[in-house]
Structure formats: C-alpha cells, structure tokens
Amino acid sequence: MQLKLELNTGLCLLQDSGRWGYRRLGVSSSGPMDRSSYRWANWLLGNPENAAVLEITLGKTQFKVTQPGWLVITGADLSASLNGNPLTLWQAFEVKAGDLLLFSKPRNGLRAYLATAGGWSAQNRLGSVATSMREKLGGLNGVGGAVEIGDCLTSNFSEPELTRVMPAWLIPDFNAASSFAVIPGFQYESFALHEREKLFNQSFELSKDCDRMGYRLMGVAIHSSNASLISEPVVRGAIQLPPDGQPIVLMADCQTLGGYPKLGTVFSLDLDRLSQRMPGQSLSFRKIAMAEAQKRYEAFESKF
C-alpha cells in the first residue's frame, strides 16, 4: 500500500499511541490529539493498537494512490472524497493505483485519522514513531517533520486482517454542544470557592492561540492565591491558570513541567472531544468524581 502526498495546506503528522517512559527526561508523550478516533481507526482494520496512522488537521490535502490497499478514515469530517465521490467515514474502503483521495474543508471536527492495513511505516525513535515537531522526534524520517508534498506513505500490508463497520450510535458529533468533565486536582482547594465556581458556571471560547501543546480559553478570569509555584510535573489534560486568569488546557505535545496552579484535569475521553473543537467555538466544564471517570473509561475499553 502506498500514497503520495500531492497537495497540502493543512498539517499531516504520523502518530502512534505515543512515546511513553521518557517524560522524566523532559520528552513529551505526543501521540494523537484524539486518541479515541485513533484507536477506532486501527480497530476498524484489525490493526495492532499501536499501529501508526496519519493525523490530518483542517484538510485541504490530496493523495495519489500508487499501490492498492485498504484505508479507513475516522475523527473529523473533512469532506473526504475518492475520485470526486464522497466517502463514508468510520468504515474500511479499498483503493486502487491511480485513485485520488482528497480531504477538503472541515464540516464536523478538526482532525481526521487516516489508517491503512498494518499501519504506516516510519522510523522508530525512543520506542515510537509519534511526531513531536518541537522536539524533532518521530514522523516519517524520525526527525519530527510533518508529511510534506512529494512524501510517500507506505505499508507492508495490502490486505487487512479484517474489516469492521462502526455502529452509527458510536460515531461522535464534534459540533454538538456539550460540557467536558473535569477531575479536581490536588491544588483545587487553593482556589477560593467563588473562583472554582467560575470554571463550572460559565462558557468559554476556544482562542485562536491553540495548538498541539495547549488550548487557550477565553472567559471570566479565574485566579488562585498561589499565582506562581515551583515547577512540577504536569500531565495531558491539566487545566493551568496563568496570571491573566485565562485557562490553558494542556494537550498531546504538552511540556513535562509547569509552574502555574492547576484546577484539575479534563477527563481523557472528553479531552479527545475537546481536541476536535474549532477556534471560536464555545465549551463548558462540569465536575466529575474519580469513580465516575473510571466507570466511563472501563465502559469505553470494553468496546475493544
């Protein structure tokens, strides 16, 4: 299976499940922004859970098929078409040499995941092919670069182990208005009660100043009595409060240390949905207990 990138104005990054075990050395875990869509993409083709997929942000991307094979697209609806015919997402489809695969503009969500039978081939760096552009790790050539025009994506497999179809009721609607669950952190009590309530009693707007490291939100400012802390380990999903009081949600490529106070952490499955929000869209938060979060995650895992 082989695809050649012919047109691209978005961002195309190879990602597997992430680079784990190196955060103590200051290396980000990286991996897909929407881990749920990434996992479903591999499940639909019967791939290993850690198989590399292509994360396509915003679309405006075209590939030419140079070797036949099987593909699947999950995540955002980026108006994908094959030879000019609209594609059905969340199910495997066969492609032949000479076919043109086009991702146009976003209609629902921000990031699509393009998987192939067996996963895309790439150089392994520190146990992963996940692309971290800031750290110059992973990707097609191992140096953290995005997939560019003229690059070829290859897989050693032409036939999938099996193909599946995603049940319609499991396909997410990323444009739907919903709140995102937050697990309070150990610094939660350092915020006055009226400051904590600001997180859960207002809507925020996603700023244009957001990327794979963090999402900046705009709303009524939230302040802590501990305006600055000694730098300490931080995790994906943590909600940091800088001095201006505008929350920053840490995302897939977040740093390993931070000195801002943290109200809590966005629940992992909701963080996947948050990664699909477009700048300018609104969002809100609700508090969730650890027991409820564990129950929801166990239910998600049971589907695999």
Q: What pLDDT score does 186 carry?
A: 87
> Which has the closest alpha carbon to 289: 179, 178, 180, 182?
182
- pTM for this structure? 0.96
% pLDDT > 70, the chain: 99
Q: What is the pLDDT of residues 26-40, one digit of tens each?
A: 999 999 999 999 999
- pLDDT given for residue 228 in this prediction: 66
Instruction: Please give the structure tokens belonging to residue 207.
Output: 């700023």
Q: Which tokens go with 161?
A: 């182990």
**Surface-to-core class of residue 225, CB atoms within 10 Å of its CB (0-12 exposed, 13-18 middle, 19+ buried):** exposed
Beta-strand relationship, 179-184 and 282-287: parallel
Between CA 62 and CA 149 the distance in angstroms is 9
Distance CA 3, CA 43 (A): 21
User: How many angstroms from the chain centroid is the CA of residue 199?
Assistant: 23
* Spatial distance between the Cα atoms of 140 and 65, rounded to a whole number of angstroms: 17
SS (H, E, C) 172-232: CCCCCCCEEEEEECCCHHHCCHHHHHHHHCCCEEEEEEECCCEEEEECCCCCCCCCCCCCE
Q: How many residues does the chain have?
A: 304
Domain positions in the chain: 2-170, 179-302
Please give the Cα distance from 27 to 30 (Å, whole number): 9
Confidence of residue 218 (pLDDT cuts 50, 70, 90): very high
Contact 67, 97 (CB under 8 A): yes
Helices (H), 141-258: 193-200
Round to whole Å and give the CA distance between 302 and 93: 25
Q: Give the residue carrying structure tokens 């949905």.
A: 273
Give the separation between CA 76 and CA 107, rounded to whole angstroms: 8
Mean pLDDT on 211-215: 97
Helices marked H in the chain: 35-44, 193-200, 268-274, 290-302
Q: Give the residue among 235, 269, 246 at the shortest CA–CA distance from 40.
A: 269
Fold observed for domain 179-302:
Cyclophilin (2.40.100)
pLDDT in tens, 243-297: 999 999 999 999 999 999 999 999 999 999 999 999 999 999 999 999 999 999 9
